[in-house]
Copies of this chain bind each other. A is one copy, B any other.
Amino acid sequence: MNLKIAVLPGDGIGPEVILQAKKALHAIGEVYNHEFVFEEALMGAVAIDKTGNPLPEQTLNLCLNTDAVLFGAIGDPKYDNNPNAKVRPEQGLLKLRKELGLFANIRPIKPYKALVEASPLKREIIEGADFTIFRELTGGAYFGAKTLNEEGTHASDLCEYSEEEITRIAHLAFKSAQNRRKKLTMVDKANVLETSRLWRKVVQKVGESYPDVLLDFLFVDNAAMQIILNPKQFDVILTENLFGDILSDEASVITGSIGLLASASLGEKNALFEPIHGSYPQAKGKNIANPIASILSAAMLLEHFGLFTEANVIYKAIEKAIEYKVVTVDLKPDSKFGTNEVGEFVSNFI
């Protein structure tokens, strides 16, 4: 197979972890005779520094015209603590999601056996947990109108959803549930928010076409609690953009490290793969960032193109790295292995 892949390393630890993902894909290409052509481009704080624009035209055009996008991380503290900054790195990622129509962000959560002890949760709570979060990615408060009055004393964010936006991701989530344990939990705040009530109504309606899937509902406050109290109760979780952002970072604790979680962002035509962790600026350049999430996002990319054997080889390699404790310090505080060594191990194993 020939694949043209846009690579956006982004900020902070992005470039370091992306490098390991590329190495893994390169090894897969060699062994299984695929041609992966990578083309790098700027996005995020690094793009602002060089061009003034967090998503330069050139980057967007590249992404629109490749088979898939592999993305590292975004964000820089120099913007976070400046509420008056006019341009922000995150705008690049949000614009890219919107322009590529990546409405569904899929985040699988499943602890590795060898890592059960790394979680702050007790073994009996997490052993056997296995669920996937479907987070809506191009709507809600992320994209609604924002206002700030002239005096800078009053601000607003609008959260909006349409039936259509909810329907399309609901279908994906129900289909995924059909291929799993046939349970879908919709998370919302329908006792307070109008958008949540619309979500509830639309998801109920879509659910009629999936009578084999058990549909239930949780308020987001309760869900935030249940994910920790009893993560095994979940199979597929479906939720809106901001709730999905919060709950999926929270759910990462089940696996012991957010450095282990990857995600796929899918649209009608395009697909982007990224770790769910952020740019972790404190770790930049120190060879301590966990590359596994980034390598896993490469595996999700392979699956997306039907290359299941190849993806499985990567999953196996990662399991081995974890088994042999070739992991970064987030998983083993006294580890002598860094980003490079873990990436090396994985690609050598392929």
Q: Report which A residues bind B (CB closer than 8 A).
A: 75, 79-81, 83-84, 88-90, 94, 120-122, 125, 141-142, 144, 146-148, 152-164, 189-195, 197-198, 200-201, 204, 217, 220-222, 224-225, 227-230, 242-243, 245-250, 252-253, 258, 278
Residues of B within 8 A of A89 (CB): 191
With both chains docked as a complex, state the minimum distance between the C-beta of A148 and any C-beta of chain B, in angstroms: 5
Q: Which 7 A-B pairs give the minimum distances between C-beta atoms?
A: A221-B249, A224-B250, A155-B198, A146-B194, A153-B163, A83-B197, A83-B201
Q: Is the CB of B142 within 8 A of A156?
A: no
Q: Is the CB of A80 within 8 A of B193?
A: no
Q: Is the CB of B120 within 8 A of A258?
A: no
Q: Is the CB of A194 within 8 A of B148?
A: yes
Q: Is the CB of A225 within 8 A of B198?
A: no
- Indicate which residue in B81, B156, B221 contacts A195 across the interface (CB closer than 8 Å): B156
- Given the complex of chains A and B, what is the CA–CA distance between A144 and B156 in angstroms? 9
Interface core residue of A121, A192, A222 (most chain B CB under 10 Å): A192
Q: Is the CB of B159 within 8 A of A156?
A: yes
Nearest residue (CB) in B for A224 is B250
With both chains docked as a complex, state the minimum distance between the C-beta of A3 and any C-beta of chain B, in angstroms: 31
Q: Is the CB of A225 within 8 A of B197?
A: no
Interface core residue of A75, A80, A225, A252 (most chain B CB under 10 Å): A225
Residues of B within 8 A of A90 (CB): 191-192
Nearest residue (CB) in B for A191 is B90
Residues of B within 8 A of A163 (CB): 152-154
Q: With A156-B194, A160-B156, A194-B147 known to touch, is A245 a contact of B221 (CB < 8 Å)?
A: yes
Q: Is the CB of B161 within 8 A of A154?
A: yes
Q: With A80-B217, A242-B189 known to touch, is A155 a contact of B160 (CB < 8 Å)?
A: yes
Nearest residue (CB) in B for A258 is B225
Q: Is the CB of A159 within 8 A of B162?
A: no
Nearest residue (CB) in B for A81 is B217
- Indicate which residue in B75, B94, B156, B228 contacts A250 across the interface (CB closer than 8 Å): B228
Residues of B within 8 A of A248 (CB): 221
- Indicate which residue in B79, B157, B201 contacts A193 across the interface (CB closer than 8 Å): B157
Nearest residue (CB) in B for A254 is B228
- Given the complex of chains A and B, what is the CA–CA distance between A291 and B92 in angstroms? 50
Nearest residue (CB) in B for A192 is B142
Residues of B within 8 A of A162 (CB): 153-154
Q: With A120-B122, A122-B121 known to touch, is A141 a contact of B245 (CB < 8 Å)?
A: no
Q: With A155-B160, A192-B94 known to touch, is A228 a contact of B228 (CB < 8 Å)?
A: yes
With both chains docked as a complex, state the minimum distance between the C-beta of A149 and any C-beta of chain B, in angstroms: 9
With both chains docked as a complex, state the minimum distance between the C-beta of A215 and any C-beta of chain B, in angstroms: 11
- Given the complex of chains A and B, what is the CA–CA distance between A193 and B195 in angstroms? 17
With both chains docked as a complex, state the minimum distance between the C-beta of A275 and any C-beta of chain B, in angstroms: 13
With both chains docked as a complex, state the minimum distance between the C-beta of A251 and any C-beta of chain B, in angstroms: 9
Nearest residue (CB) in B for A125 is B120
Residues of B within 8 A of A142 (CB): 192
Residues of B within 8 A of A121 (CB): 120-122, 228
Q: Is the CB of A141 within 8 A of B249?
A: no
Q: Is the CB of B229 within 8 A of A253?
A: yes
With both chains docked as a complex, state the minimum distance between the C-beta of A88 and any C-beta of chain B, in angstroms: 7
